[in-house]
A and B are shown apart, each in its own frame.
Chain A
Amino acid sequence: MDWLLQQLINGLALGSIYALIALGYTMVYGVLRFINFAHADVLMLGAYAAYFLAPAVNSIFPLPSLTGTLIIVLLSAMICAAIGILIEILAYRPLRQRPRLTVLITAIGVSLFIEFTCQHKAVFGADTKPFPQLLPEHDFHLGGLVIGSNDLVVVVTTLLLLGGMWFIVQRTKMGTAMRAVSFNQQAAALMGININRIISFTFGLGSALAAVAGILYALKAPGIDPLMGVQPGLRAFIAAVLGGIGNLPGAALGGLLLGLLETFAGGISGLSNYRDGIAFAILILILLFKPAGLLGKATIEKV
């Protein structure tokens, strides 16, 4: 029984990170209808930003501390937001009127460009760097169960950010404009909405989320390398599709589900080798029966 509950906790903690990354994917998709594959690499850049900021912040607010961590997270999120906006302006904006496939391929190109530039020894180098301890850590023991403070932080942060995103999209003027652009770009432009500004804002917000996810991921496994975003990024993408791409609560649900599936499959002796295989087979089954994802709405296109 303990075993089962412990796996549940592990799965929720892992799933929350996937959910957080999936939020970024789904938000950009919601507005622009294309998958920003460079999202996973912005996540990595967020972790590296924190890695390089930590010593500086440490001299003012000694780490591990909550204040110091908040400052690092905020600064990293700002850096990544700027990077995200820059990527959009340089790589995606010139292609906005082209077929969607062109932009998709470009996104893969941007992703590879970031990964392999960062692996060069003049940039970050390919070796794994030890990530500093930002938060005081404490393990809570409930009977035979162990809940790490970092896992709690991950779950709470994801919930808060999910709520925040929902508020921005549904309750603010900017969010209304985002939804309008998502619905029909041309009509939105005719209504006086500055499309470029909205899209930049969306990328900035998505990349800031990626930075937070990157730092949380690095807290969980304190070794960072330029390819650290690839695996969680791929899974978060699947999670976003599973939940119904373009749907914020769907992304969170998809992430949690994928984390749980992976954890339970991985915890079976002898089957752990097939962890991803099992998790993804179940996902394919779900998508066979609900092609638009768990919370997605099927849209009928007239041809």
Chain B
Amino acid sequence: MLSEFRPCSEQVKPHADFENPVCACINGISSLSARLVLVTFDAMFPRTLFAFAAISILIVSCNQPGSDGIVIGEFASLTGKEATFGISSHEGTLLAVETLNAAGGVLGKKIDLLTEDNQSKAGETSNVVNKLISKDGAVAILGEVASSRSLEAAPICQQNGIPMVSPASTNPKVTETGDNIFRVCFIDPFQGTVMANFVTKTLNAKKVAVFTDVKSDYSKGLAKFFKEGLAKNGVQIVAELDFNGGDKDFKAQLTAIKSAAPDAVFIPGYYTDVALIAIQAKQLGLNVPLCGGDGWESQTLLDIGKTAVEGHYFSTHYASDAASPNVQAFVAAYTKRYNGKVPDAMAALGYDSAMILVDAIKRAGSTDSKAIRDALAATKDFEAVTGKIAINAQRDAVKSAVILQVKDGKFKYLETVAP
């Protein structure tokens, strides 16, 4: 499915002063390099080889200068270790742009989405973002999921006065870079509070244990905000234990947790560790609800954890089975566009990031970066797939979180928690 949009992302827009022979040459080289990049993809999607060849030829013929669309740059981790997240968010973004263009674009112009891959690598993001801004003339930048790489792009956008919207970087530091940086997801302090309230009110827990991955900033941050939330609710923390992400044996800590007899255990970790923890907790007879954050949301959690993760809870950005018409319309469109693939939270956030940016362009009435920035900052009550979004003074999205429960080997929507 990658094949269909890849050529678009490799598109090069030569300036008007490069006239035909040079331009054709550049196009030739660009499509050649595109094909080189695609060799890696071909290994993954051999069937699409033919389509690539056909479309690469098309690029040369149709990619003439003088496109008068609005250029929006996107950087994402389409390859490398976080490719699952990057591909999801990119697919969401692309769907949003296609939907908008089909409805006539914005300000009477089409939107040109230029996508660059940072290969999940440190250092690569600054290259591609610089290119998008100075060479391609992007009026705004969208990207990305991983906070560390969004933090790399943010200072560049800030210096160039280009507004940037991150779909899913939850680290508070990202938007602290400057007044041009926005995000459409909630941040970790909110997520920690949401789970603290859920554990207190919905689960009625009086005694809670916290089991933190000391290797991960995400886990430590989330645990900190969760504990603050519990303290506010007057809930007792009976045990605080730590593990190292990548550990395989958690029985020592789980035995200690069990002997403290908590009503619930909060595990702000990533899915692989959580699955193993759930299995060993079950073996030790620790039969209380386990709770966590958006790091749980992966098919791997279910594949490894199987029945051991059944019945446990975590907070995340959106639920694909929520009843809201917005969500259902999005899920239907996404499933249709990507051959039956069900969109995850990253896809929904990618979609929202593009939608909210284009909404700001519309309200700004121009493609001037300053005007877009001001319009973004003034966003209020925007009906997004992942809930109603308002942008606050810190340029973070104020929005609700959803809580999912693992049920019958699937993630089931449980409730929405408003900020």
Q: Which residues of A contact B (CB under 8 A)?
A: 2-3, 6-7, 10-11, 13-14, 121-122, 126-128, 130-131, 139, 141, 146, 148, 217, 220-223, 225, 227-228, 231-232, 262-270, 272-273, 275
Contacting pair B252 A122 (CB below 8 A): no
Contacting pair B239 A269 (CB below 8 A): yes
Q: Which partner residue on chain A sits nearest B275 by CB separation? A: A223
B272 to chain A: which residues have CB within 8 Å?
128, 223, 225
Is B381 an interface residue, CB under 8 A from the partner? no
**With known contacts A130-B303, A146-B284, A269-B240, A14–B279 Cβ distance under 8 A:** no
Contacting pair A2 B259 (CB below 8 A): yes
Q: Which partner residue on chain A sits nearest B239 by CB separation? A: A269
A-facing mask of B77-117, CB < 8 A → 1, else 0?
00001000000000000000000000000000000000000
**With known contacts A128-B304, A220-B248, A272–B284 Cβ distance under 8 A:** no
A6, A122, A131, A148 — which one has the most chain B CB atoms within 10 A of its CB? A6
Is B214 an interface residue, CB under 8 A from the partner? yes
Contacting pair B242 A139 (CB below 8 A): no
Is B251 an interface residue, CB under 8 A from the partner? yes
Q: A8–B193 Cα gap in the complex (Å)?
A: 37
Q: A232–B253 Cα gap in the complex (Å)?
A: 18
Contacting pair B252 A7 (CB below 8 A): yes
Contacting pair A221 B248 (CB below 8 A): yes
Contacting pair B304 A266 (CB below 8 A): no
Contacting pair A273 B242 (CB below 8 A): yes
**With known contacts A139-B283, A222-B279, A269–B304 Cβ distance under 8 A:** no
Can you name 24 A-B pairs with beta carbons within 8 Å?
A3-B255, A3-B256, A6-B284, A11-B252, A13-B251, A128-B304, A130-B304, A139-B285, A146-B283, A146-B284, A217-B248, A221-B249, A222-B279, A223-B275, A223-B276, A264-B252, A266-B253, A268-B256, A269-B239, A272-B243, A272-B253, A273-B214, A273-B242, A275-B252
Interface size on B, residues (CB 8 A): 33
Contacting pair A220 B255 (CB below 8 A): no
Q: How far is the CB of B400 from chain A (nearest CB, A)?
A: 31
Q: Which partner residue on chain A sits nearest B243 by CB separation? A: A272
Contacting pair B255 A6 (CB below 8 A): yes
A217 to chain B: which residues have CB within 8 Å?
248
Which are the 6 A-B pairs with shortest beta-carbon distances?
A266-B252, A221-B248, A273-B242, A10-B251, A263-B252, A267-B256
Partner among A3, A225, A266, A272 whose Cβ is within 8 Å of the Cβ of B259: A3
Q: Which partner residue on chain A sits nearest B257 by CB separation? A: A269
Is B300 an interface residue, CB under 8 A from the partner? yes
A267 to chain B: which residues have CB within 8 Å?
252-253, 255-256
Q: How far is the CB of A266 from chain B (nearest CB, A)?
A: 3
Is B128 an interface residue, CB under 8 A from the partner? no
Contacting pair B43 A122 (CB below 8 A): yes
Q: A11–B44 Cα gap in the complex (Å)?
A: 43
Q: Which partner residue on chain A sits nearest B237 by CB separation? A: A269
